[in-house]
Amino acid sequence: MPTLKENISEDLKEAMRAKDGFTLQVLRMLAGAIKNKEIQLRDQSDVSLTDEQVVEVVSSEVKKRKDSIEAYLAGGRQDLADKEEREVGILEHYLPEQLSDEEIERIVRETAEASEAKDFGRIMGQAMAKLKGKADGKKVGEMVKKVLGQ
């Protein structure tokens, strides 16, 4: 079974063959971000990134684009927001299926009940460890606040 990085590489090649310039641009950017992460971690190990690490890179790129979308909409630049939205659509293809709000809330409640200290930071950290790649951090933060009654 091919790794996530190999799937991205194959999709990049397919976008080249199909002459899909937009997808090609997004996948090249993603491949570059993955390569940068490998270079950053090279001191620690000489191995390629695991699928989990690639998911972290993809999640980071999606978050950057979602932040850009908010900024563009606030600045009245719908055209740029639409471009970023298309990029997010391509990138999300490489993320695991995102959990529903109900599932996130259930996991956050379980984490809060299991945690002896009822502070936001500790519960947030534990919940994000369980939800890594499966839920947006912003959404998890909102659920933790809701569960803690803040």
pLDDT at 129 over 90: no
What's the pLDDT score for residue 117?
A: 63
Assess whether 88 and 48 both reside in one domain.
Answer: yes
Per-residue burial over 22-55, b = 16 or more CB atoms within 10 Å of its CB, e = otherwise: ebbebbeebbebbeebbeeeeeeeeeebeeebbb
Per-residue burial over 103-124, b = 16 or more CB atoms within 10 Å of its CB, e = otherwise: ebbebbbebbeeeeeeeeeebb
pLDDT at 19 over 80: yes
Provide the pLDDT confidence category of residue 85 given band limits of 50, 70 and 90.
very high
pLDDT at 23 over 90: yes
Answer whether 118's CB lies under 8 Å from 144's CB: no
Provide the pLDDT confidence category of residue 13 given band limits of 50, 70 and 90.
very high
Greater model confidence, 45 or 146: 146
Provide the pLDDT confidence category of residue 119 given band limits of 50, 70 and 90.
confident
Q: What is the mean pLDDT of residues 19-34?
A: 94
- CATH code, 39: 1.10.1510.10
Assess whether 82 and 26 both reside in one domain.
Answer: yes
What's the pLDDT score for residue 44?
A: 67
Answer whether 62's CB lies under 8 Å from 54's CB: no
Structural domain including 65 reads 4-92
Assess whether 88 and 17 both reside in one domain.
Answer: yes
Quote the mean pLDDT of the chain: 86
Assess whether 87 and 28 both reside in one domain.
Answer: yes
What's the pLDDT score for residue 16?
A: 95
Assess whether 14 and 82 both reside in one domain.
Answer: yes
Number of structural domains (the chain) is: 2
Provide the pLDDT confidence category of residue 1 given band limits of 50, 70 and 90.
confident
Residue type, 40: Q
What's the pLDDT score for residue 29?
A: 96
